[in-house]
Structure 1
Amino acid sequence: MTTLQKAIRDFPASEVQAVISKLSVTPAMQADLQPVAFDLLRKTVADFNADEKRTEPLADADLEPLKLATQTKPDASDMGLLGWYYLKIKQPSVSAQWFKKALELKPDASNAKGLYLSLAAQNLEEEAYQVAATHLKDLTGDPEFLMNALSLRFAKPDTATIDEKIVASYSTTILQTLNADHAEILAWYAYNSKQYEAAAAWFGKSIDWKVAPARVKGLALSMMRLSQKQEFAALQEKYGDLYPEIWTEIKVAPAPKGKKAAAVIKPRGAIQANYFRNFQAKRYSACISDLSDLRARGQMTSNASLIGGWCYLGLSRLSEARASFAEAMTAGGQAQADAAYGTALTLLRGKLTDDAEAILRAYPMTTERDREVRAEIYVQRARSAFDQGQYQNTLDALNTRATLVAEPTDLSQLRGWSYYHLGNRGMAKQVFQRLNDHLNDTASRRGLVEASRVEGARQ
């Protein structure tokens, strides 16, 4: 059974089924192989769902055991599998039922997407939108999907009031994807609800990403409503010859009706929320992109510089990390302490051991951080001394480090070889013997053999 279960992952379903058929010669064997048969059925359905070339539906009788199993032992994965199957064979009303059942057991991105697509395929746009709105957190991992799912409400703002959480999520996904089309949709939503500053900001972003006449027109209208005459004139001078037809339309355009709507988050606010989310998710390049946008707008804060330092460090862009941490250190208080810690780690990453120790002396840190930085300082000093043949200095550094934290295997091996090169074969043998007793690896055995060989030759 174990072999067959492993084979399901690596071999075609038909080959595994042939083996099961040969083994199922008694009722007892059939019963024993039932779990494997179910796993095989799941793989068969999953393979069908994933193969774009396969369109002929599976036999209903083949699917019946999986359907019955969901009744006796409900499983969200099996329900979702059936949901994607029926969606692929263009039975969205059936797939929607399976996805709903799956979401009741386990809300997740896959089942939420499936239900949204099933409802959209039936032209149930409002119900589909509500699915996306209900599962914002589940869908944030796929900003493109979420953005497209939410956009319909913004393109048709008169349908119903939009919740502020939806606005915030839509703004964030637009900035994550740098999508000019959706930035324009949000800009028109803001303009038509008389939020002209937000409208101008989003029209500006959409033009930055991909210029188009409707976007220039929207920005010009927003400037006109804000009485920004100089900015309007500069915009017309820049795009007047490129889009001559829009300026006449602008002059006679009526003011928007201004129906009550949720406040639109301007790009600055969305970026400030987004760069930290990208940092937490370790999307360091996206984090830096957001911060570069803030810097270009003259909106950098000490906290933003601090986060920038960590993101640059995550990308191993050490000089830029040091510069960002240096900016944050000027703020004083906790930001300064955090930036000093980041600077010390950055210097250590660049093997600038003495500079890292100078930071440690200049900026007091918590006990935990101080221990962490000092431990790494002594690691680097030990390795540097060993490389230069200064074996006593290596041991001194390792001994000091051992008073702070436990010694890992690689450093114990360094200790053993330092004793060996200093002629202290007995201590070297003790170190390698202890390592070999615990690890029994090649490096420890080699050290033990060398130390023992010298000891044996002396005897």
Structure 2
Amino acid sequence: MSVRSSSVAIVVAVAVAGLVTALKDRPALRDMLGFHWVSEPAPQFMLMGRVTGPEDSPKPHVDVQAIADRLQAATLVAPLPQDGEEAENQVTVAQAGQQQPNVQPASPAQPKVDESALRYFASRGDTARLQAEIARLRALYPNWVPPADPLAIPQGGDKQLEQMWQLYSEGRYAELRKAIADRQASEAQWQPPPDLLDRLDVAEARARLVNASDLKQYATVIQIGANTPSLLTCSDIDVLWRVAEAFAKTDRAPRAQDAYVYILKNCTNPQERLATIQKASALLSYATMQDLLGLERADGNGGREFDSIRNDLARRFVAAGNDDPNLAVAPTYLSIVQRLAETEGLASDSLLLGWYQLRRENYADAEKWFRAAREKEDTALASQGLALALIAGKKPQEAEDVIYKWRGASKDATATYLAATANLMALQPPANLSEEVLSRVATEVIARKYVPTAQQFGWFARTLNQPQTAARWFETALRWKPDDEPSAYGLAITRQQLRDRAGVAEIQRLWAGRSERIAQLGETTSRTTTMPPLPAAGQTLAPEAAPPTVVRAPTEPPERESPPARVEALRQPVMQTVTVRRGARQLRGCTTTVNAELLDPETALSRGWCLMDINRPMEAAKAFEAALAAPNRKTREDAAYGQSLAYLRAGLSNNAAVAATKAPQTQQRAAELQVAILADRALAAFDAKRYREALIYLDQRAQLRQEPIDLLVLRGYAYLNMKMYGDAERIFTAAAATGSKDANRGLADLKASTHPDTVD
């Protein structure tokens, strides 16, 4: 090697060493040397590791020899002539410090520059890749000057190559592969430009990735992306989106988040950044989205770059809260959706808020928003939500009415309607249902074979003292679901009430070892009667063919024009119809207020009777409740009996019926309570102007005990208000024959109603 060559080599080696150190922070230098991270000067997203950015880009592979060759070629290029000097008299950069006379540098031959790619990128309007190609050619050919107008580059150089670029630009990759192979076969020395081959490989990989993404072959998408990292740059944002989606769809949310973070940290196109957040919000969790939104930038106008989609994001986040009741959505987003619901008037916004509040058991707020949604647009979803809120709020009657129209819209709507019917029939006190409502509820129960409502129909019939109807409902529920123990128990006590001993024995045989209360029922039949238990109010129940008899609730007749009946004088405490037998009780000490729960059962029982004697029934009821905890069976029986009497005196007949079920009662006590409860219910129905219902209670009572004159007069007034004047006259006349002043007053009211002109 000559001294000159050795000097050049030393200079080149030093330059290379410095260059390798500077490459990381000198993108312009990389471009000049034709060294690129990928096919364009932008950082790339690494699939196999964490997200990379400008500050932590992957280390490149440095071809030192190639760089040395380029530097050496650059040092041997003679500078342009200056001040009339001849070019051949100039020395090279390497010889500037030590000139050697009579040594002339050899002028290296410049290869012909292939500018076909420049023309191609210019014709496509791909400015980024055009500039990358110019930088590459400058690094290869330092003296090359790019054309001012790449489109003006003549096409006469290599027609076949230009056709190949054309095939590439049109995406006809298979034809391009064939054209390359054909030319290599015909021209053994011809080699396609490496840039064309690289770009073709990448383009084919991209096409495969997009196809796999469209076919939801997400594992293939990830594999292609890993094998072709040059695709994963900001210049092809769609590929990054597809890779992120593939990660999310394969349960690798953290890697999907990495991809979106890479975009938001490195890519600057505003529209693409906005679309990135939109796509991410459809795939990632609420918490992850808050991290991504932390990378939001100012828009330069005093706002934030994602303000235009803030409303939609808030809606999406509230919807996520609907799916997960444990997710606490930020109040800011709830406020946005609430403002939208109030200002834009969309039913969908009100529905979002309704479901969000319902899932968090804020039933009043949920009801408010569901009602608002139904006012804007009555849909199955809005009605279903409102019905659920009403059921939870102990309003099953309105819930049934709201959802009935949409009961067949979906499986969820049907389930909601049936739940409403079960809770409606389980109300305590029983709801006053019209014939229409009872009929349609029964029809749906039959069609759906819904056991819970069928069972509740049985209990409902028992409250109306219709044991035959109740038995049929319980039997029907058991046909649909033979292992429904509550229906079996209801049927057993109903058959016991009907004195069907064989029927009770059969149920006990079928349920032997499965129900203790059914087994114990027979033990008390000879000396006690167990009052039917009533289902808890507000109980949510579930459906199934219908019994031959449907319970019908009495409908309210039109009000009569005659003066209202005066029945206040008839009101005597129903307690007077009950024979009370109890032991000695302590009268002293019950005038002061005492927490009955702190007393022992026997003391609480005595205090209860004492409070009854001084007419403080509600306090007595609490004392009897405490006495029900006694281990002694007799004490429990007396406590249940006393609590029933207390509630009757307070006018709470339904509570009295429930209290009577808390312990078995003797037949005499059970009959006394039944008579008193029916009388009280008749008076309550009359006061509520449900005259037909009052007559039903009176008829039921009359089957147990002869009707006293005061209730006979009440019956006459019920007939009078229903304009059944013949029956009213018959009843009043019979009662007046006993000397009843109230009956005579009833005859006068009857005359005033039928012959108003003859009344003085």
TM-score (norm 1): 0.44
Normalised by the length of structure 2, the TM-score is: 0.28
The structure whose Rg is larger is: 2
Say which structure is richer in helix: 1
